[in-house]
Amino acid sequence: VSDQLQRPFILLSYFLWFLPYQHVRFAAETWAGLLFLLGLSQLLGTTMRDRSWLVAGICFALCVQMKPAMVVACAGAMGWFLFTSGSRERAIIRLAAGGAIALALGVAVDSWFYGEPMHTLWNYLYKNSLSISKVEPLPVASETYAWFYYFPWIIKYGIWPIGAVLVAGLFWLTYRSPRSLLVWCIWPYLLLVSAIPHKELRFLFPLVDLAPLVLVLAWQQIENGTLTRVLQHRAVLIALVVINVCGLIVASTTAAGSGRTRLAEDLWDERTVPAGSLGYDFNNDLIWTVRIPSFYLPLRIKDIGINDPCAMANDLPPTPTSDLLIAEADCCSSCTPEGLGYRTLGRSETMPATFMLDLYNSDRHGPYLLYRIDPAP
């Protein structure tokens, strides 16, 4: 990164809107991305020592154990290093030694956890090889998408002006600087996950930390001309900054997923939430998305599962069966929790966040509300 773009690079590294969202996830994708980043930092050190190669090998092997598909990204990084620095037998030996140490550590931890000799990375590769060869299909989600789906997903879910700039930056960097380290790391991984029919957005998460670097290095490759003047126009820059700030605010103040942890927080308010039962106006296919885990519930609250307060019984008026109810906002027209005597206690997201999130993804579920039944007069 050039001296002039050091500060923008650092700001993007902290405040590109989806990075804080990513780094609070205690998930394999997050660990894999951080370990990969640490391995890259060892390869890019100003003074390469034997220990740097060893640590890089350990980090890359741990990264692969967290997310096996990252093996191609790690291989690309090591290949770039060996190609650009020339053949270094000592580096190869120490990278391999670091990888062997990490793999041995993985076997030890897996065996300790399962109580018998075990290596989950090997099991993962073995089971998936059987699945690919159709010998033994895996019981996984069956949704499949065309090979190119990750690119429109990046544009859509990155907030399209920012996502579009990110995709364009990757292609521009590839065109102008095909020997770039990022090109060697990102494209092998993208090609691998694109070739797999089952796709999920989280599969891209191990590489999100490279997004600021992609944007900055692509910018450095743009020559002075009409495109530069357009992108440097104050109105364009202000628009991108405002969009990014909006995404950052919503992502930082809204509970992840369905927002059920936000509703769980409301349940702990003893002033407005008395002891009682908690029901969910959802069917079997949807209740799992919003059901609050038992360890988040106060002891005075009893989870009774699915509860439809609008269900008719013996042609009598519908009667609520739970003191507390979680339902989707605007879930029905003829019968509403408010019409049955419930009043709103909490909301999974604020009204401004709902407006922003509906613009961000019109296909998403609506906000969820927590209700309490008012006692009969």
Residues 6+ apart with CB under 8 A from 87: none
Q: Give 292-302 pLDDT, tens digit per residue.
A: 999 999 999 99
Q: Specify whether the CB–CB gap between 357 and 349 falls below 8 A.
A: yes
Write out residues in the chain with pLDDT < 70, as ranges: 46-50, 86-87, 130-142, 223-232, 312-320, 331-334, 375-377
Residue 362 corresponds to which amino acid? Answer: S
Query: Strand pairing of 276-280 and 324-328?
Result: parallel
Start-to-end CA distance of the chain, whole Å, equals 70
Q: Give 69-116 pLDDT, tens digit per residue.
A: 999 999 999 999 888 876 577 888 888 999 999 999 999 999 999 999
Predicted confidence at residue 201, as pLDDT, reads 92
- pTM given for the model: 0.83
Predicted confidence at residue 87, as pLDDT, reads 59
Predicted confidence at residue 131, as pLDDT, reads 63
Which residues are paired to 276 by β-bridges?
Answer: 301
Predicted confidence at residue 270, as pLDDT, reads 79
From the list 144, 134, 162, 152, the residue with the least C-alpha distance to 251 is 162
Length of the chain equals 377
Predicted confidence at residue 99, as pLDDT, reads 93
Predicted confidence at residue 314, as pLDDT, reads 40
Predicted confidence at residue 53, as pLDDT, reads 87
Predicted confidence at residue 331, as pLDDT, reads 63
SS (H, E, C) the chain: CCHHHHHHHHHHHHHCCHHHHHHCCCCHHHHHHHHHHHHHHHHCCCCCCHHHHHHHHHHHHHHHHHCHHHHHHHHHHHHHHHHHHCCCHHHHHHHHHHHHHHHHHHHHHHHHHHCCCCCHHHHHHHHHHHHHCCCCCCCCCCCCCCCCCHHHHHHHHCCHHHHHHHHHHHHHHHHHCCCCHHHHHHHHHHHHHHHCCCCCHHHHHHHHHHHHHHHHHHHHCCCCCHHHHHHCCHHHHHHHHHHHHHHHHHHHHCCCCCCHHHHHHHHCCCCCCCCEEEEECCCCCCHHHHCCCHHHCCCCEEEEEECCCCCCECCECCCCCCCEEEEECCCCCCCCCHHHCEEEEEECCCHHHHHHHHHHCCCCCCCEEEEEECCCC
